[in-house]
Amino acid sequence: MANESSATKTSGKIRKIVIDRDACIGARSCVIAASNTFEMDDENLALVKSDASNFDSDDTIMQGAEACPVLCIHLYGEDGKKIFPN
């Protein structure tokens, strides 16, 4: 993942969100599902927003990751282990 966007959370079951921007195809599904966590940049690739205090709930973030057609949003838990995709 040379080109990635990531953020960490200090609470909840999801503690780290990483978007593999090399794999992103700009489908925008993540932003539609979880607009407080994901946004598109001017290259039409997804970014994780910078304000973690305003992120969506973990369930909504998970829905955003699940909605990605190429599964390029990776979620990690408190122990650093990958939660999604398996």
- Name the residues that contact ligand SF4, by CB under 6 A: 19, 24-30, 46, 67-68, 70, 72-73
Residue 64: CB minimum distance to ligand SF4, A: 7
Q: What is the DSSP letter of 58?
A: H
Give the integer Cα–Cα distance in Å for 72 and 61. Answer: 13
Q: Which is nearer to ligand SF4, 7 or 27 (CB)?
A: 27
- In sequence order, which residues have a C-beta less than 8 Å from that of residue 71 and are 6 or more positions away? 65, 85
Q: Which is nearer to ligand SF4, 10 or 86 (CB)?
A: 86
Q: Which is nearer to ligand SF4, 11 or 69 (CB)?
A: 69
